[in-house]
Amino acid sequence: MSALDTTPRIADPDALFALLVEAHRGLDEAASRRLDARLVLLLANHIGDAEVLRQAVALARAAAEPPKG
């Protein structure tokens, strides 16, 4: 079984964040969502492992849910 690797591997996270922010500059909300969707699909295709993608989706979804209690 493949496992999602969450070890930080991005050499310059601030530069990556700036790249993502710049990619959205000038886009309306709908275009920004399309960009995000395309980026997710491109990266998912690059990963290519359904089990790893399931784990990533579950982890991202859990982080997006409001805290319980």
Over residues 14-34, the mean pLDDT reads 98
Alpha-carbon gap, residue 44 to 28, rounded angstroms: 24
pLDDT in tens, 29-46: 999 999 999 999 999 999
pLDDT, residue 27, reads 98
Alpha-carbon gap, residue 52 to 4, rounded angstroms: 5
Establish if 5 belongs to a structural domain.
no
Percent of the chain with pLDDT over 70: 100
Establish if 57 belongs to a structural domain.
yes
Establish if 6 belongs to a structural domain.
no
Establish if 2 belongs to a structural domain.
no
Calculated CA dihedral for residues 20, 35, 3, 52, nearest 10 degrees: 180
Alpha-carbon gap, residue 49 to 24, rounded angstroms: 28
Considering the entire predicted model, what is its pTM?
0.84
Residues spanned by the domain of 21: 13-64
